Amino acid sequence: MKHNHISLVLSALLISGISVPSVTQPVEVEAAEQQYEKYQLDLLAQVNFERKMVGLHPFKLHPLLCKSAVNHETYLRLNGYAYGHEEVKGDKGFTGKRHADRIKAVGYPSGFSSYETITKTGDSPTALMRDMIQTAPYHRDSVLSPLAEYVGFGYSKNGVVVMNATDNQDFVSDVMYNYPYDGQTDVDIAYYGDENPDPLKGTGLEKSGIISTFTPSNYYYLGSEKATMVDSKGTKIPLVLETGGAGTLLIIPKILLDYNTTYTVSASVVDEDTGRKASRTWSFTTKEDPKLNSKERKFVDYKPKQYWSKGMVWAVDKKFLSPYTKKDAKTKKTTLYLKPSSRLTEGELLTVFTKYYYAAEYKKTKAVAPSWKYSIAYQLAKKHDLPTMATMTSRKKATSYVERGDMMRTLASAHLRKPVSEQVAFDTLRELDVVKDRSLPAFDPRADTSRAHLATYLYRYISSK
């Protein structure tokens, strides 16, 4: 879509602030003699990090734009954020009806491209900014504008006001970019219809998966667009395509995305004026399910984004594994631990596995040796011809640590309903996408099996079925 020198305003977001990591990289600020507030420097670092990741030039702080943004945030704080981008003459703090009037009032050159965006209320300005860029595609379009050079910020806990503009009629930045950017992680899974204007209007959707955007250039008239989105298993995600106000294609999933999943997006557009074509493919990964380690049941040693994160919590939730507990003698408070790296004996592995794989049988089976805690596990192992070192009559090795190759053979033998070799077990589980290693030696079958290993392979196995 072609643009000359325009003014763009976007209404305040209605989304709740989400706790997200802030950018802490140092940032160089133009006009070093100008004293800026810390939040303005922090917001500049956050915005410029996002702009850098999509391949755009960095913004520079401008004292007059900061003054205008602070003025408008003050007006909204005094009169109510419901006013959005409007001010009413005679109200406290009035400096101009429209944002173009307000930047002119502080002495900023008028007649050039300028944008104003406003976030929701929240304690962290950088978290609000990152959340707005990620979840609000029209506001994202404004903050990531290639047509602007300078930016100013105003902030209180009521929200952030962003003013960005250029003061150079000849300024051109014809850059292709997409968001989420390629390789981005910790991406939200959904857009909940909380932006004004609402990109879902007219689509029949009340909420959608997180909306991706593709901007081939600010000099395209969009009208012939195609896009696909697939998850890591190749499943196609149903989409709605819309065109934004700055030559941007909005790629809207009709369904909410899954947590901790990688998605690949391919988009192509044609400029209706010139016939020029542009296309791009990129991938991003959604954030981990926040319920995995909730406040109500917090594991001290839980770590997000580990290969075992989901599997360990799943195994504990399903009672295949028990959490470790420690009670404080003074406070009487019990602390929970996952202990993912703890090694498993063969008896422990078989107990967990048979509880999972032969759940109904495990509950109904009576122990023939009630005094031996592994009795039922070894009874079921014998019945289903699973490979074991110990037996009901030779129990000593039940307390020996078990190797990863033996764990793999146990799972594959149960799946194929017959004893198998390590190589057959590896090939079987790799085909099921349970094993990720490319070869048996890379799998390291002689290594000890940990709680994390077993939980992860069981979780991957059930996810593959």
Q: Is the dihedral of CA 313, 318, 322, 326 positive or negative?
A: positive
Q: Encode 82-147 in three state secondary structure.
A: HHCCCCCCCCCCCCCCCHHHHHHHCCCCCCCCEEEEECCCCCCHHHHHHHHHHHCHHHHHHHCCCC
CA separation for the pair 465, 19 (Å, rounded): 34
Question: Over its length of 465 residues, how does the chain's per-residue pLDDT go in tens digits?
Answer: 333 333 344 443 433 332 233 333 333 334 444 689 999 999 999 999 999 999 999 999 999 999 999 999 998 888 887 777 888 898 898 988 888 889 889 998 877 778 888 888 888 899 999 999 999 999 998 899 888 899 999 998 888 888 988 877 666 667 889 999 999 999 999 998 888 889 999 999 999 999 999 998 766 777 788 999 999 888 999 999 998 666 889 999 999 999 888 999 999 998 888 888 889 999 999 998 888 777 667 899 999 889 999 899 989 988 899 999 998 888 888 899 999 999 999 999 999 999 999 999 999 999 999 999 999 999 999 999 999 999 999 999 999 999 999 999 999 999 999 999 999 999 999 999 999 999 999 999 999 999 999 999 999 998 876
Q: Encode 290-311 in three state secondary structure.
A: HHHHCHHHCECCCCCCCCCHHH
Are 257 and 189 in contact, with CB atoms under 8 Å apart?
Answer: yes
Q: Please confirm whether the linkage preceding 387 is cis (ω < 30° from 0).
A: no
Record the pTM.
0.69
Element at 79 (helix H, strand E): helix 63-79
CA separation for the pair 397, 346 (Å, rounded): 7
Segment 129-170, tens digit of pLDDT: 999 999 999 999 889 988 889 999 999 888 888 898 887 766
Q: What is the model's pLDDT at position 110?
A: 73
CA separation for the pair 440, 427 (Å, rounded): 8
